[in-house]
A = this chain, B = another copy of it.
Amino acid sequence: MATVHQEESIALLKAHGLSVTGGRKDILVIFLSRKGALAHADIEKKLGARYDRVTIYRTLQSFVDKGLIHSIPTNDNSIRYALCKDECASGHHHDHHVHFVCKRCDNTYCLDSVATPSIKLPKGYSINQVEMVVSGQCPSCQ
């Protein structure tokens, strides 16, 4: 399934300076063939027992480091990851979009078309990064 994204995943890995391995390809294909964010546990489930848990952790970390995926903060203590757009590269993420978490189906979406609004803080605070997470019901769950 989803052999469609095999080539694309290989190209992406090379473009981001990562060596091409079975695990990285498989994990990246999962992200490519799936709209919405994934947690480590989701990926582990989808992969079956093909790879060690530790390998998955390290793969996700390297993807974040190289600008292939970004992490999304949640209040339920589980990190979720989603594909970055082309502008992201090693050490330079440019994800300024809003994230949406559906309270019914529990899916997390990157709303690429919605930019995080600019914000003015009291004197003394310098801003580095702004994260906006909206929760409610997604279109499929209305």
Residue positions of A touching B, CB distance < 8 A:
71-75, 77-79, 98, 100, 103, 111, 113-114, 117, 119-139, 142
A119 → B minimal CB distance (Å): 6
Give A128 to B135 CA distance when docked, in angstroms.
6
Which of B120, B128, B131 sits near A103, CB closer than 8 Å?
A: B128
A124, B138: Cβ atoms closer than 8 Å: yes
A121 partner residues in chain B, CB cutoff 8 A: 98, 100, 111, 114, 134
Q: What chain B residues lie within 8 Å of A130 (beta carbons)?
A: 132-135
Contact A119 B134 (CB under 8 A): yes
Cβ-defined contact, A137 with B131, below 8 A: no
